[in-house]
Structure 1
Amino acid sequence: MAKRKSLQHDDCPVARAVDLVGDRWSMLIVRDALDGIRRFGDFQRNLGVARNILSDRLSALVDDGLLAIQPASDGSAYQEYVLTAKGESLFPAIVALRQWGERHLFAPGEAHSELIETASGKRVAAMQPRDHDGKILKPSHAVVKKLVEK
């Protein structure tokens, strides 16, 4: 199988982000880490992914600074994978994907998980891009502007 072309130097931020976390296992590992999973075996049980694939994705996420390895919090000989600030900052992207999936990938009344705010016990409000005045921004009201190098 041919190796895919890296997009790490592309001028599009979406391309660079997808290059880093765009495969399903990496995004699901980040999702699970946001949900509090920290140990290799727990990731594997929850995801059902092969050990070699999980090991590869965890290593890449550590190398790219989204996860860090630390000694187990219970004092055992295990190590844990914890989100860095860079990894935690993917929370809005995960929430946006979750909410898009809830809207478009489930039949009416079909059971699925929901993201609940811990303080209120209520469902997290729908994320919407907004303009500088706070109005909901539609795709037709935005344009990508290429910046010129200085």
Structure 2
Amino acid sequence: MTLPRDYPSQACALSRAMEVVGERWTLLIVRDAFLGVRRFKDFAAHLGTPRAVLSDRLASLTAAGVLTRVPAHGPRPHYELTPRGIALWPAVRALSAWGEDHHPAPGGVRRIFRHAADDAPVAGDGRCTACGRPVEAADLLITPGPGLPPPADGDDPVTAALHRPHRLLRPLHLTKGTPA
């Protein structure tokens, strides 16, 4: 039985937000968009999501104004976060920090967020540990942490690319010739 996507008996803002981002895989797609994933095949390879589910979630996020489909230079379009999607960053950051605090990865954090302006780590509350300012998603550099397993031959292109420092919201530079 498929669960409904809406919460008609709930009248709060959280229920309305959950109607947009509360389905399985949706927040991981949003996370990957922040990381710089743009193409359908790269979302699919990195997430291991069934293609029909991924297609449905991308369509839902596009219809809700969280993502936009952008014509690509090649034969297929790609996806980018809209300002409405970028506004989800505090929630994505908070859920990630909660996961690190309550369900940590073996060996330590897998990815460290740093303030691009001064290269200082960013705390779980989104503030730079050096300057104390809140750091916007576009000003974050993501770097490998001590818990990130070493690259493996079978890694998808997104996982392989995330072994290098990368600025959030910028397209991820995927190695050419790597299957996706």
Q: Which has the higher helix share?
A: 1
Fold conserved between structures, TM > 0.5: yes
Is 2:111 aligned against 1:101?
A: no
**Number of equivalenced pairs:** 126
Two-structure CA RMSD over aligned residues (Å)? 2.0
Q: Deviations over 1:114-133 (max 9, x none)?
A: 222222222212318xxxxx
Q: What does residue 32 of structure 1 align with? A: 32
Alpha-carbon distance change, 2 to 69 in structure 1, aligned in 2, over 3 angstroms: closer
Per the alignment, residue 121 of structure 1 pairs with 119
The answer to whether residue 101 in structure 2 is matched with residue 91 in structure 1 is: no
Greater alpha carbon shift after TM alignment, 84-93 vs 3-12 = 3-12
TM-score (norm 2): 0.63
- Structure 2 distance, partners of 1:8, 1:64, is 17
Question: Aligned partners of 1:25, 1:127: CA distance in 2, in Å?
Answer: 24
Q: Identity of counterpart residues, as a percentage?
A: 41
CA shift, 1:68, in A, is 0.7
Structure (1/2) with the larger strand percentage: 2
User: Contact 1:69–1:82 at 8 Å: present in 2 too?
Assistant: yes
Please, which runs of 5 or more residues in structure 2 have no aligned partner? 127-180
The answer on whether the counterparts of 1:67 and 1:83 sit within 8 Å (CA) in structure 2 is: yes
Deviation of the 1:15 alpha carbon: 1.3
How far apart are the structure 2 equivalents of 1:42 and 1:5? 26
- Mean alpha-carbon deviation: is it higher for 17-26 or for 109-118? 109-118
Q: Which runs of 5+ in 1 are unaligned?
A: 129-150
Instruction: Name the SS of the counterpart of 1:110 in structure 2.
Output: coil
* TM-score, length-scaled by structure 1: 0.75
Determine which structure has greater relative contact order: mean sequence separation of CA pairs < 8 Å that are 6+ residues apart, divided by chain length: 2
Query: For the residues of structure 1 that align with 2:96 and 2:4, how far apart are their CA atoms?
Result: 27
Q: SS of 1:24's equivalent? A: coil
